[in-house]
Chain A
Amino acid sequence: MMPEQPVPSHPPLPVELLTSRALRTGVWGSVTLFLAGLIGTWFFPSATVSPWLLSAGVILLISTPFLRVLFAIVGFSRERDRTFVIVSLMVFLMLLGELAYVLMFL
């Protein structure tokens, strides 16, 4: 017998739905790019696009948590939760700080 799906105690909030959508898109997008890149690398070695597809998959996957935080900011602002808009914004700015460090020093 299949286990019953648990029923959430509340309908998913905008912030939960938005962030899960961002994650789903990022994960499936990068999985597709990885598969296409690996198939291209091993079965169509003359295709020059394969390394690009693999790199794009890596960058999309690393960017997914950035999107997650960005969508959380949008979700909290839809819920009019100003405190958590600020907290999420702080996390997002710190992640951008990492990018700035990479661009400036590496």
Chain B
Amino acid sequence: MTLSTTLLLFGGGILTGTVGAMLGLGGGVFLIPFLVIVLELPMHQAIATSILAVIATSSAGAVMNLERGMVNIRLGMVLETATVAGAMFGGITANYLSAETLRQIFAVLLFVVSGVMFWKIRQSPRGDVAHEGTLRAEYTDDATGQIVSYGVRRMPVIMGVSLAAGNISGLLGVGGGIFKVPAMTLLGGMPMKAATATSNFMIGVTAAASAFIYLANGHMNPLVAAPTALGVLCGSFLGIRISRTIQSKVLTVFFALFLLFVAVQFISR
């Protein structure tokens, strides 16, 4: 591998990590197409590389969120029993599927993620935080300075969504937060900030549940994974800073359309 390829991996990591963090996604939905289409990496290797990047960004983000008291760690642990089981199954399954099949499943995921992005634009911010429910927690809202106290409703449904999200994570190397966060907020009645922080805390553990399987199968090349993970880590910090100043629906629409375009590319290859 040449130095220029390493720099391209690092640069691609920064770019996809920035866009992912700006849109509140883990970045895997942008990173995997970059690795497969631009660098022509095999699908399994792209997924394995993305899994390592997901662990890096989740772990770094969770440090900040834990110290600020944003993570509902008890809820995270309960849901991890489902996501870890799903991810292990996904990781094992992926190694029996051909690259072609995985690429087609990934294209379907891109269509779904794009649809969720369009749907989220139409949703107004939810104010009906659940005051009843289990696994109660509280945090201080940065914007208002007020203490927000909440509980979690409909745990069995959220567990089911988490199992599916974990399975998608292990199979396709993405975080799965795009499915868990709406489940926690809309079904569980959690405030968005707590749901995002808890989901981010969880996805690293979920990704680790399939990472050793990809490593043992020889799909995780450290020369590829290391510069990419470093780039995504830098990009995610950059994206969080940018998203504090720019919050544009136009940007979300643009990237949702971009994902549709990438999905078509994946199918037509």
Please tell me if the beta carbons of A7 and B213 are within 8 angstroms of each other in the complex: no
B65-103: contact bitstring with A at CB < 8 Å (1 yes, 0 no)? Answer: 011110101100110110011001001100000000000
In the complex, A10 has a CB within 8 A of chain B: yes
Main secondary structure of the interface of B (DSSP, over half): helix
Please tell me if the beta carbons of A95 and B208 are within 8 angstroms of each other in the complex: yes
Q: Chain A interface: which of B29-37, B152-160, B214-222?
A: B214-222
Main secondary structure of the interface of A (DSSP, over half): helix
Interface contacts (Cβ under 8 Å), in number, total: 157
Beyond A38-B227, A58-B226, whether A98 also contacts B56 by CB under 8 A is no
Residue of B with least CB distance to A56 = B222
Please tell me if the beta carbons of B62 and A42 are within 8 angstroms of each other in the complex: no
Q: How large is the interface on A (under 10, 10 to 19, 20 to 34, 35 or more residues)?
A: 35 or more
Q: Chain A interface: which of B17-25, B134-142, B181-189, B255-263?
A: B134-142
Residue of B with least CB distance to A84 = B74
Please tell me if the beta carbons of A88 and B77 are within 8 angstroms of each other in the complex: yes
CA distance A106 to B78 in the complex (A): 29
CB distance from A37 to the nearest CB of B (A): 6
Please tell me if the beta carbons of B62 and A54 are within 8 angstroms of each other in the complex: no
Residues of B with C-beta under 8 A to A6: 68, 140-142, 145
